[in-house]
Chain A
Amino acid sequence: MPEEIKAHITGVVFQLPTKPGDRVAAGDAVIVLESMKMEIPVEAPRAGAVKEIRVREGQTVQEGDVVAVLE
């Protein structure tokens, strides 16, 4: 069952430590946001494979936006 990962804060995409196909554990950073000079990881809610990354570096995302999808 694919699962959408949503940004929990508003920020700018700072790093993309994962790419589609990568396996992640629960709690791993799927993307890293930068907001107000802080680096905030958006973590995988469970273990799985990354199906999609829906953002690119430098993009502004709002709280609640889907940033990635797990298989």
Chain B
Amino acid sequence: MFRACRQLGLKTVAVFSEADRGALHVRDADEAVAIGGAPARESYLNAERILAAARHARADAIHPGYGFLSENWRFADAVHRAGLEFIGPRPEAIRKMGDKIEARRLMAAAGVPVLPGSFEPVADVGGAEAVARDVGFPVFLKAAAGGGGIGMARVDKPTDLAGAFAMATRRAQAAFGTGALYVERYLERPRHVEIQVFGDSSGQIVHLYERECSIQRRHQKLVEESPAPNLPPPSKTGLATAAVAGARAIGYTNAGTMEFLVDEGGGFYFLEMNTRLQVEHPVTEEVTGLDLVVAQLRVASGEPLPWSQSEIVQRRVAIECRVYAEDPSKGFLPSPGTVQRLDLPSGEGIRIESGVEAGSTVSVHYDSLLLKLITHGATRQEALERMVDALDRCVVEGLRTTIPFLRRVVASDEFKAGRVHTQLLEQGAFNA
């Protein structure tokens, strides 16, 4: 973010919590403002404090990043009302896509395939059962305000529905303030493939092709790559066309991602839209050679999109592995602590995005993502060899990380062959 700002001659202001006083992002910025205590609700989730910091620093615009308030339409709206630019989509688009049921309705109306299921919240277990019988078990119960896999439950048979409904609605209530649920058909061995889209204020919308993101734990991504290997050409074209149509239907501006599930026959279904820059955006940047954050800044300042569709080409192959402070030998339990030693690989085709350095404290209060390793190559083979090598040379000591797991993924037959789906991890394909 700061790199992109510097490139455009823009000054940067970081905000930080008490826990992050010594953090890398604080030193990287031209200026930094303390906004409160370590718990996120006292700092990074506190819109008032962030706006006060922006006023104090006389900022013109706020980039919300990809966590915390980045998909909170009320925050985006408050930024506008404070006379600042929000570097992202319009609040209305965030609101519409944040309501996962409304998103399903809007996308279906725009001709984007959605999974069979409910287009209204299901009021109770009876309502859920009626939909489930209609679409056929197994089904997924999902939170209407959902995201990040929270409040999601797979239900295999009618007798499991009551228990799953109670748990999912409780989790959704706790996480999102509403327990509203909906029902979707459950797919066996689907792939998670998403399309990067980008719109400007003149109504022009382009896509930047797909990212394959099927290697996940707790419905959250660990490995991403582009182009998606073994994706049938009609699916590839269909996904991109559907994603642009969906984004156009809601007048989408700035960077966004349309997420889909792809079934074994190549059929695809809209999952949700992430109305922000994504963690895995470097994959697309390495594949296309385009800078998404620079484009975000330009488009937010009212400029047209810097590229036409025909100028966007998949030139290379890129893979990203996410290094989290989690223990893969214990079901990916969190592993906060202090980074004692950090040796990062470098060399041709390797890009690193790290939020930590040796000596960094990794707090219990925030997400466990430490750094991202991205490799690219002229071919998938080359990108993959570079990733195997980069993971071998990546040393993080002081806390447990996903590195041992990631090494097993890139060494697995399934990954090497590009034959992946979202259930590989739970099936034990990458067990030690």
Using a CB–CB cutoff of 8 Å, the interface residues on chain A facing chain B are 8-12, 34-38, 40, 60
- Over the window 363-393 of chain B, the binary record of Cβ atoms lying under 8 Å from chain A Cβ atoms (1 yes, 0 no) is 0111110000000000000000000000000
CA distance A10 to B400 in the complex (A): 12
Using a CB–CB cutoff of 8 Å, the interface residues on chain B facing chain A are 39, 218, 325-326, 333-337, 364-368
8 interchain pairs, CB-CB under 8 A: A10-B334, A10-B337, A35-B336, A36-B365, A36-B367, A38-B333, A38-B334, A60-B364
CA distance A19 to B368 in the complex (A): 30
Q: Majority SS of interface residues in chain B?
A: loop
* Partner of A10 from B326, B336, B367 at Cβ < 8 Å: B336
Given A9-B334, A36-B367, 7 more pairs with CB closer than 8 A: A9-B335, A10-B334, A12-B39, A36-B326, A36-B364, A38-B218, A40-B334
* Partner of A35 from B39, B218, B364 at Cβ < 8 Å: B364
B365 touching A12, Cβ below 8 Å: yes
CB nearest to A38 among chain B residues: B334
A36 touching B337, Cβ below 8 Å: no
**Which among B218, B325, B333, B368 has the highest number of chain A CB atoms within 10 Å?**
B333
The interface residues of chain A lying within 8 Å CB-to-CB of B334 are: 9-11, 35-36, 38, 40
B364 touching A12, Cβ below 8 Å: yes
Q: How far is the CB of A71 from chain B (nearest CB, A)?
A: 28
CA distance A59 to B366 in the complex (A): 16
CA distance A9 to B336 in the complex (A): 8
CA distance A10 to B326 in the complex (A): 12
CB nearest to A10 among chain B residues: B336
CA distance A38 to B366 in the complex (A): 10
Q: How far is the CB of A67 from chain B (nearest CB, A)?
A: 14
CA distance A10 to B335 in the complex (A): 7
**Which among A11, A38, A60 has the highest number of chain B CB atoms within 10 Å?**
A38
**Which among B337, B365, B367 has the highest number of chain A CB atoms within 10 Å?**
B365
The interface residues of chain B lying within 8 Å CB-to-CB of A9 are: 333-336
* Leading 4 A-B pairs by shortest Cβ distance: A36-B334, A36-B368, A35-B334, A35-B364
The interface residues of chain B lying within 8 Å CB-to-CB of A8 are: 333
The interface residues of chain A lying within 8 Å CB-to-CB of B365 are: 12, 36
B333 touching A10, Cβ below 8 Å: no
Q: How far is the CB of A8 from chain B (nearest CB, A)?
A: 7
* Partner of B366 from A10, A37, A40, A60 at Cβ < 8 Å: A37
Q: How far is the CB of B221 from chain A (nearest CB, A)?
A: 15
CA distance A12 to B337 in the complex (A): 14
CA distance A8 to B364 in the complex (A): 14
CA distance A4 to B266 in the complex (A): 53
The interface residues of chain A lying within 8 Å CB-to-CB of B335 are: 9
A40 touching B367, Cβ below 8 Å: no
CA distance A37 to B333 in the complex (A): 11
**Which among A9, A11, A35 has the highest number of chain B CB atoms within 10 Å?**
A35
Q: How far is the CB of A35 from chain B (nearest CB, A)?
A: 4
The interface residues of chain B lying within 8 Å CB-to-CB of A36 are: 325-326, 334, 336, 364-368
CB nearest to B330 among chain A residues: A8
CB nearest to B369 among chain A residues: A36
Q: How far is the CB of B286 from chain A (nearest CB, A)?
A: 27
CA distance A8 to B218 in the complex (A): 19
CB nearest to A61 among chain B residues: B364
The interface residues of chain A lying within 8 Å CB-to-CB of B366 are: 36-37
CA distance A34 to B367 in the complex (A): 11
Q: How far is the CB of A50 from chain B (nearest CB, A)?
A: 21
CA distance A54 to B4 in the complex (A): 49
CA distance A9 to B337 in the complex (A): 11
